[in-house]
């Protein structure tokens, strides 16, 4: 059996989850492989997310999606909904927000706080108040079926956690997570309650390892997409397990090949405990070879993309676009700064920035500072990136670093040339300078501004991704790796 382990499958996701789902879907549908995806975060609403993934064809229904906490509790996300009325016997209440928030009093003393979901009306949580400081002493959280799934106890006078107790659908506690009571909510131990014993784990990673050993049978292949899970995967015991770590991002903190990110240090130091490390670019393999003596363990399998269904020869508009998470790492503010430097030359061009994230406010302030409200637009999320790219004169990527630059591939695939910082990793593997886009010195705003002016009148012909990034190469490489064939499919681009 093939297993994918990852920390989370969010409702709205970025490049790592997108590539995980895309890889799994292709290997199931085109290579006839069986897959189970295991997540390790606690999320009582995974049932809704799973159905969303299936309904939107993000993943075939033959792929089993399971969370470690659901596995331990036997949760199925089915069954009759439990009614949770507003009224509480012996208490009076006041409605704070219509149909959603209520405060409860016992003979004048504030004792309870309830919050309901504004969309479906289900009870979200109940706070039990400490009468001596008007802060919550504990909170009970409820899932969409009206069942209490978690209780949180807090350090007196604070909102710092002391412990979380997790319950199954029958109200039986199965996990206790104990915290140090600090504002950082540091986990100090975990207990798992089984039918015959109470198991203690000093760290969450030890708990993950135990869960993997219970869920993954012998003779299985494990593909790890999250650095958080490197240690649990490497240390888990089992017979004839094939362990594969995929690097979705740069392992370096700077241009120094020895300056390794702390999250990557474990897998590099314990490379002997995995069978394969999969990098996405030749450049990253070269840098890894400086750290890993056994280069045969490093495989290069880039992402792939299918040709677009629509025609590429749509009318181009006078606009440049950015699609991605609005974070400091992505540096979308550099696009605004570069536009400002050449705003007179680019007067008839606009910038459309798609995405959400913590840097959004910074971008809003920058647009206002430069009076670019009629030139630069924050468009939020898009469900049609293909259409966005197809109508744009060029797309821009100004990240500090990337793992591959999946958005570059998507842009080129829709006939949209890319201007990108020449950063690790991906841009110089995907972009042929002057043919399907431009490579710019990283963090050079003047050069980025000049590239905008150049793209204004540029007319690149037949913008596309190279055939080595198509699905047949992808399937062949992964099939060879997973079947441990001696002769693997070779990608000429990376020779």
Residue 238 has pLDDT above 90, yes or no: yes
Residue 124, domain CATH: 3.90.930
| Whether residues 347 and 373 fall in one domain | yes
**Contacts of 41 by beta carbon, 8 Å cutoff, 6+ apart:** 7, 8, 67
In the listed set 300, 329, 353, which residue is the last one of a domain according to the structure? 300
| Whether residues 267 and 349 fall in one domain | no
Is 252:260 a contact under the CB 8 Å cutoff? yes
> Residue 134's pLDDT is what?
86
Q: Is residue 18 part of a domain?
A: yes
Q: Is residue 123 part of a domain?
A: yes
Nearest alpha carbon to residue 357 among 383, 334, 378: 378
| Whether residues 245 and 269 fall in one domain | yes
> Residue 330's pLDDT is what?
96
The H-or-E segment that residue 300 falls in is strand 298-300
pTM given for the model: 0.85
Q: What would the pLDDT profile of 340-362 be if each residue is shown by its tens digit?
A: 999 999 999 999 999 999 999 99
Q: Is residue 373 part of a domain?
A: yes
| Whether residues 449 and 379 fall in one domain | yes
Q: Residue 140 has which token pair? A: 């009970």
Residue 491 has pLDDT above 90, yes or no: no
Q: How high does pLDDT run on average in the chain?
A: 93
> Residue 405's pLDDT is what?
87
Q: Is residue 111 part of a domain?
A: yes
Q: Is residue 383 part of a domain?
A: yes
Residues paired with residue 12 on neighbouring β-strands, in sequence order: none
Nearest alpha carbon to residue 137 among 125, 149, 128: 128
What is the pLDDT confidence band of residue 192, given thresholds at 50, 70 and 90? Answer: very high
> Residue 311's pLDDT is what?
58
Is 355:461 a contact under the CB 8 Å cutoff? no
| Whether residues 140 and 214 fall in one domain | no
> Residue 494's pLDDT is what?
40
| Whether residues 267 and 369 fall in one domain | no
| Whether residues 226 and 97 fall in one domain | no
| Whether residues 364 and 284 fall in one domain | no
| Whether residues 443 and 323 fall in one domain | yes
Residue 495 has pLDDT above 80, yes or no: no
The whole-number average pLDDT for the span 40-56 is: 96
Q: Is residue 326 part of a domain?
A: yes
Cα–Cα distance measured from residue 226 to residue 204, given in angstroms and rounded to the nearest whole number: 15
Residue 230, domain CATH: 3.40.50.2000
In the listed set 174, 203, 232, which residue is the last one of a domain according to the structure? 203
Number of Cβ atoms within 10 Å of the Cβ of 64: 14
Q: Residue 199 has which token pair? A: 């198991």
Q: What would the pLDDT profile of 425-441 be if each residue is shown by its tens digit?
A: 999 889 999 999 999 99
| Whether residues 457 and 330 fall in one domain | yes
| Whether residues 332 and 419 fall in one domain | yes
First CA to last CA distance, the chain: 32
> Residue 74's pLDDT is what?
95
Could you give the number of structural domains in the chain? 3
The whole-number average pLDDT for the span 62-78 is: 96
Sheet order of strands, 221-224 included: 64-67, 35-39, 2-6, 221-224, 242-246, 276-279, 298-300
The H-or-E segment that residue 31 falls in is helix 15-31
Q: Is residue 486 part of a domain?
A: no
Q: Percent of the chain, pLDDT > 90?
A: 85
**Where in the sequence is the domain holding 242, given as residue range(s)?**
2-77+205-300
Cα–Cα distance measured from residue 372 to residue 230, given in angstroms and rounded to the nearest whole number: 45
Nearest alpha carbon to residue 176 among 158, 196, 201: 201
| Whether residues 17 and 71 fall in one domain | yes
Q: Is residue 308 part of a domain?
A: no
Of residues 131 and 233, more confidence is placed in 233
Number of Cβ atoms within 10 Å of the Cβ of 439: 19
Q: What would the pLDDT profile of 292-348 be if each residue is shown by its tens digit?
A: 988 889 999 999 998 887 756 688 999 999 999 999 999 999 999 999 999 999 999
Q: How many residues does the chain have?
A: 495
Residue 37 has pLDDT above 70, yes or no: yes
Residue 487 has pLDDT above 50, yes or no: no
The H-or-E segment that residue 303 falls in is none
Is 396:346 a contact under the CB 8 Å cutoff? no
Q: What would the pLDDT profile of 431-486 be if each residue is shown by its tens digit?
A: 999 999 999 999 999 999 999 999 998 889 889 988 889 999 999 999 999 876 33
Cis bond upstream, residue 288 (ω within 30): no
Residue 207 has pLDDT above 50, yes or no: yes
Q: Residue 471 has which token pair? A: 């699905």
């Amino acid at each position: 059996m093939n297993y994918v382990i990852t920390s989370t499958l969010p409702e709205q996701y970025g490049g790592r989850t997108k590539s995980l789902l895309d890889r799994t879907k292709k290997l199931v549908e085109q290579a006839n492989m069986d897959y189970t995806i295991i997540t390790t975060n606690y999320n009582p609403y995974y049932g809704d997310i799973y159905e969303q993934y299936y309904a939107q064809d993000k993943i075939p229904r033959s792929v089993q999606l399971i969370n470690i906490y659901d596995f331990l509790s036997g949760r199925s996300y089915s069954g009759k909904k439990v009614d949770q009325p507003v009224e509480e016997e012996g208490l009076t209440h006041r409605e704070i927000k219509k149909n959603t928030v209520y405060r409860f009093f016992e003979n004048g003393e504030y004792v309870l706080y309830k919050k309901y979901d504004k969309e479906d009306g289900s009870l979200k949580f109940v706070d039990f108040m400490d009468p001596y400081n008007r802060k919550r002493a504990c909170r009970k959280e409820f899932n969409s079926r009206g069942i209490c799934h978690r209780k949180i106890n807090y350090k007196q006078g604070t909102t710092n956690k002391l412990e979380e107790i997790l319950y199954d659908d029958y109200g039986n506690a199965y996990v206790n997570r104990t915290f140090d009571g600090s504002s950082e909510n540091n986990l100090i131990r975990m207990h798992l309650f089984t039918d015959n014993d109470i198991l203690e784990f000093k760290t969450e990673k030890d708990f993950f390892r135990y869960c993997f050993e219970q869920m993954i049978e012998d003779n299985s292949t494990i593909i790890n997409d999250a650095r958080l899970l490197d240690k649990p995967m490497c240390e888990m015991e089992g017979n004839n397990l094939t362990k594969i770590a995929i690097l979705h991002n740069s392992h370096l903190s700077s241009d120094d090949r020895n300056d390794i990110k702390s999250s990557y240090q474990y897998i590099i130091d314990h490379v002997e405990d995995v069978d394969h490390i999969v990098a996405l670019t030749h450049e990253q393999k070269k840098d890894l070879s400086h750290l890993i003596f056994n280069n045969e363990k490093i495989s290069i399998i880039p992402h792939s993309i299918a040709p677009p269904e629509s025609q590429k020869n749509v009318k181009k508009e006078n606009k440049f676009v950015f699609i991605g998470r609005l974070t400091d790492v992505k540096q979308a503010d550099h696009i605004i700064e570069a536009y400002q430097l050449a705003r007179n030359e680019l007067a008839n061009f606009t910038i459309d920035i798609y995405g959400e994230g913590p840097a959004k406010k910074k971008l809003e302030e920058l647009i206002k500072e430069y009076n670019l409200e009629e030139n630069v637009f924050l468009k939020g999320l898009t469900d049609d990136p293909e259409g966005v790219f197809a109508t744009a004169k060029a797309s821009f990527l100004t990240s500090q670093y990337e793992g591959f630059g999946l958005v570059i591939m998507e842009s080129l695939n829709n006939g949209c040339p890319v201007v990108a910082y020449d950063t690790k990793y991906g841009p110089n593997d995907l972009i042929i300078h002057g043919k399907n886009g431009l490579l710019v010195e990283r963090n050079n705003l003047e050069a980025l501004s000049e590239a905008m002016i150049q793209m204004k009148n540029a007319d690149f012909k037949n913008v596309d991704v190279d055939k080595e990034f198509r699905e047949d190469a992808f399937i062949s490489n992964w099939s060879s790796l997973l079947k441990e064939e001696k002769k693997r499919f070779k990608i000429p681009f990376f020779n």
